[in-house]
Structure 1
Amino acid sequence: MEVKRIQCPNCGVVLDVRNSKMEDEKLITCPQCKAVLKVRFRHEAPLEAKTVLAGGLNNGETQLGGMNGATQLASASNAKSCYLCVAGQNYPLAIGLNTVGRKAPSSQASLQIETDDRYMSRRHSKIEVRELAEIRQAIISNDQNKNATYVDGQELQPGDAVILRDGSEIIMGKTHVIYKEQ
């Protein structure tokens, strides 16, 4: 029986995959994010784990290789990073849910913007960053704000969710924010 250690390309959880039937390829489900992963076993090449989506699209790839029995993990994602730019200061967005708000001692935002703008709430908006087919997608919605949020001149209404594009202008309170991809 062959056992390989892989890392889920979606959520990052590390899994041990058992290949008791010496298969060339095996489908497993990540217990954390429920993504279906295709794991290839090759005797002279590194192990690969790919996310399998409906339609056969690949949603990232994790390659594994071993030296003297040790397994090494290496992520092979080509996705662009994304961040918010405020007055020349860059604030990187993490994959998953980012709560954006004004920096204050009582702020619980995961991404706190350095500003004196009292019209920007301490939890002004939510930006969810998803990685799809080696592309990062950022989706903005309102959070616990009392003042308006605008994306490219359009006011976000309660329940709205807008996909951001490189260069999208966001106004939170009176603070101008630019969404960037790199």
Structure 2
Amino acid sequence: MAAAETLGVMGALKFINNLEDRDVVVQIALQFYLEDRLAQALTQFKEGLLTLGLLDEVMCNPRAFQRAFTQPPLPLTATDLANLFTPTLSPVGSNRRRLENRTIAHWRDWLLEVEEGNMDHVQVEDVLVLCSGASRVPLSGFPEPPMLDFFLVTDSNSLPLANTCSVTLRLPLHSNYADFSRAMQLAVACSGVFGCA
């Protein structure tokens, strides 16, 4: 009686006299949950793919779309994030280029520490959120290639700056790793309140 309403919706509300009747009810319930209940959602999904002109491509090339539809995303690593960004560098041989190279080394070392769990409450995904607003890299990539820019530290500005629209991270040119690490941790910690008053 407790399941009468649910069984009625499934069309499986039957009096059970023996094990064969029970198997019929189970079969009807399985069909409802595995086919009937999902039919409308699958129809809408197919219509959406048709609207975008993708349904034929998916049907012709199922392996190409398998990762997008069936596999969970791979966890983001420090190497993935470091390789995602292209640095905008000063001319070779300049003093500023030397500072930029040092900052890139700080950036990569800091990402490795984040990945290893050495930074309190900071995950690699949190760093991507700071830079892009997204916790995962989209399957098709970002519309614009993510960039690393650099700026000289001043008394009023020593924290990294991010532009989530263009996926640009501006790193401060700190002379030592400890200052760089503190600035990055603070920036990531504050990025969770972006847009909140």
If each structure's helix is expressed as a fraction of its own residues, which one has the higher value? 2
> Normalising by structure 2, what TM-score?
0.24
Instruction: Please state which structure has a larger fraction of its residues in strand.
Output: 1
